[in-house]
Amino acid sequence: MPTLREVKKRIRSVISTKRITNAMEMVAAAKLRRAQQKVEQSRPYSKKMDEMLAQLAAGSIGEIIHPYFEERQPRKRSLVIFTSDRGLCGSFNSNIVRHAQNWLNEHKDTEVELITVGKKGNDFFKKRSWPVVNYYGNWGGSLNYDKARDMVRFLTDRFVAGETDEISLLFTRFISMVKYRISLEKYLPVARPEIKTSTNELSHGLKDYIFEPNAEKIYAALMPGYATTKMVTALVESFASEHGSRMIAMNAATKNAGEMVYNLTLDYNKARQAQITKELLEVVSGADALKG
């Protein structure tokens, strides 16, 4: 049975841990608010880019010609895995890693390669048999546009050069402060926009476009921005989910530490009371012995 000094020392240790987890929860909450603002800003922009592609596809005559739309027999696939640089964020990283392993098992018959975003995912997969062709870390939980553009350039160049036939993004989509969803999206080739041909749309003239200089050059100017927007959206969604997961995990840790302090305090008081009772019994027994 631990002594009173040991129990008291453990209580002080748990209180110190509680202060740390409480501080980390507040920091994560502050970062989450900023990350959530970026998510809310990026989603309308991404949606508008999709609408622009659909309208261009509806107005163009003939097949859409651009390297990003090139469909090939997938002999080699690439998976971009978004994890965090730091831990203490609950099941955020383990969920991504588990889904990544499931994806790799599903495509074990074809050649695959990995691009890791975040230190935790890179540390896990670099010790496995799957090749990691590039790693992007040290984000600090916030978006770095220069690094994001480097990622886009690396992935698009690799796809256009034929070094990979399909690129997918595996990241955590931010739903709310307490809800997240693992999302697997095809990055390249870009899915061809649906060309709607309803009578109502034809009456509004959605196909009556005049392209200057031509549709191919417009796509050439638009698609790099589209690819960057998709990557930035995935990054900000992942960062917001990371901060939300860390805030929830630290809140739970703080509550558990408080319960542990309460239980340890009860044990300390019981042990102290038992020791005092024992000492009183010894005094009384000694007094009775002297009387006898």
- Over residues 195-218, the pLDDT tens digits come to 555 545 444 444 556 667 777 777
Predicted pLDDT of residue 270? 87
Q: Do residues 228 and 146 lie in contact, with contact meaning Cβ atoms separated by under 8 Å?
A: no
- Cα 125 to Cα 132: distance, rounded to the nearest angstrom: 7
Q: Residue 57 belongs to what domain range?
A: 34-246
The answer on 272 and 162 residing in a single domain is: no
Q: Which residue, 288, 284, 281, 264, is CA-closest to 4?
A: 264
The answer on 259 and 173 residing in a single domain is: no
- Over residues 125-157, the pLDDT tens digits come to 999 999 999 999 999 889 999 999 999 999 999
Task: Write out the two tokens for 141.
Answer: 């939980």
The answer on 78 and 195 residing in a single domain is: yes
The answer on 138 and 260 residing in a single domain is: no
Q: Do residues 135 and 124 lie in contact, with contact meaning Cβ atoms separated by under 8 Å?
A: no
CATH number at residue 145: 3.40.1380.10
The answer on 134 and 279 residing in a single domain is: no
The answer on 105 and 203 residing in a single domain is: yes
Q: What is the pLDDT averaged over residues 244-258?
A: 95
Q: Which residue, 48, 47, 51, 64, is CA-closest to 211?
A: 64
Q: Which residue, 242, 184, 181, 231, is CA-closest to 36?
A: 242
- Over residues 82-103, the pLDDT tens digits come to 999 999 999 999 999 999 999 9
Answer whether residue 243 shows pLDDT above 50: yes
Answer whether residue 110 shows pLDDT above 70: yes
Q: What is the pLDDT averaged over residues 214-224?
A: 80
Q: What is the pLDDT averaged over residues 70-79?
A: 92
The catalytic residue positions are 89
The answer on 163 and 131 residing in a single domain is: yes
Number of domains observed in the structure of the chain? 2
The sheet with strand 166-176 has its strands ordered as 132-136, 111-117, 76-82, 166-176, 179-188
The answer on 255 and 172 residing in a single domain is: no
The answer on 164 and 265 residing in a single domain is: no
Is residue 2 very low, low, confident or very high in pLDDT (cuts 50, 70, 90)? confident
Answer whether residue 254 shows pLDDT above 50: yes
The answer on 21 and 80 residing in a single domain is: no
Answer whether residue 262 shows pLDDT above 60: yes
Report which secondary-structure segment, H or E, holds 174. Answer: strand 166-176
Q: Do residues 144 and 38 lie in contact, with contact meaning Cβ atoms separated by under 8 Å?
A: no
- Over residues 14-68, the pLDDT tens digits come to 999 999 999 999 999 999 999 999 999 888 888 888 887 777 766 665 566 788 8
Q: Measured over all CA atoms, what is the biggest interatomic distance in the chain, rounded to whole angstroms?
A: 118
- Cα 77 to Cα 163: distance, rounded to the nearest angstrom: 9
Q: What's the pTM? A: 0.85
Mean pLDDT, the chain, as a whole number?
Answer: 87
- Exposure string of 199-213, with b = 16+ CB inside 10 Å and e = fewer, is eeeeeeebbeeeeee
The answer on 285 and 147 residing in a single domain is: no
Q: How many degrees, rounded to 5, is the angle at CA 261 between CA 256 and CA 266?
A: 125
Predicted pLDDT of residue 125? 96
The answer on 195 and 162 residing in a single domain is: yes
CATH number at residue 253: 1.10.287.80
Q: What percent of the chain has pLDDT over 90?
A: 61
3-state class of 88 per DSSP? coil
Predicted pLDDT of residue 205? 44
First-to-last alpha carbon distance for the chain, in angstroms, is 35
Give me the residues paired with residue 116 across strands: 81, 135
- Exposure string of 76-88, with b = 16+ CB inside 10 Å and e = fewer, is ebbbbbbbbbeee
